[in-house]
Amino acid sequence: MKLSVNKVPFEEALPRFCNIGLFNDFSEDNTDDVEMFRSLYEKFSAESYDDGDLIIKEGETSENLYILSEGSVQIFRTTQFGDEIAIAAFDASLDVFFGESALIDKDECSATVRAVGSCKVLALKGTDFVEFCKKYPILGFYVYKKITKRMQQSIKRANHDIATLYAALFREIEGSN
């Protein structure tokens, strides 16, 4: 069950923010960047989940970006036959974020994210991020660039997988004649 909890002080969170892939174009040594992150951090809420709780559910609409701040999560996809398969597992030491599509627009989630043990996340509503970017457009530019690159890589992997499956199917059909 999702519970709201207190966030760690900004000074403790700052180094992690600068390591997260979405924000690593900025530095904790730059006073302008620090003030920008301080303002952004105020928009995040902290949430706690118990073992097995769903943070994001495949097929449902999400409006939040999540940063894993403590604990571990596992990512699942559902097959066309309704089977759930694990596709990845992450812990907080990896500076993991997920749900970044919510920063662009509300969208159907492409996977389920489940807590493994107890975990904590920082959550940011996409609408709050858009408002924030009106004051700090440079952050928005870099974040959207990172999201675009991540989506581009996903499309390339999917296209490669489709081509591989097509080739295997074609060989199978040729071999059965």
Q: What is the pLDDT of residue 128?
A: 95
For residue 115, which phi and psi values (nearest 5 degrees)? -70, 135
Closest CA to 90 of 60, 109, 113, 110: 113
* pLDDT tens for each residue of the chain, 177 residues long: 777 788 999 999 999 888 999 999 999 999 999 999 999 999 999 999 999 999 999 999 889 999 999 999 999 999 889 899 999 999 999 989 999 988 888 778 889 999 999 999 999 999 999 999 999 999 999 999 998 888 888 889 888 888 898 888 888 888 765
d(CA 60, CA 66): 15
| Global pTM value | 0.85
Structure-token pair, residue 45: 């809420």
pLDDT of 137 reads 95
Residue 128, Cα to own-chain centre: how many angstroms?
16
Q: Where are the beta strands (DSSP E) in 15-168?
A: 45-49, 54-56, 61-62, 64-78, 84-91, 97-98, 107-108, 112-125
Q: Which amino acid is at 167?
A: A
CB 56 within 8 A of CB 114: no
| Three-state secondary structure call for residue 5 | strand
Q: What's the confidence (pLDDT) of residue 16?
A: 87
| The length of the chain, given as a count of residues | 177
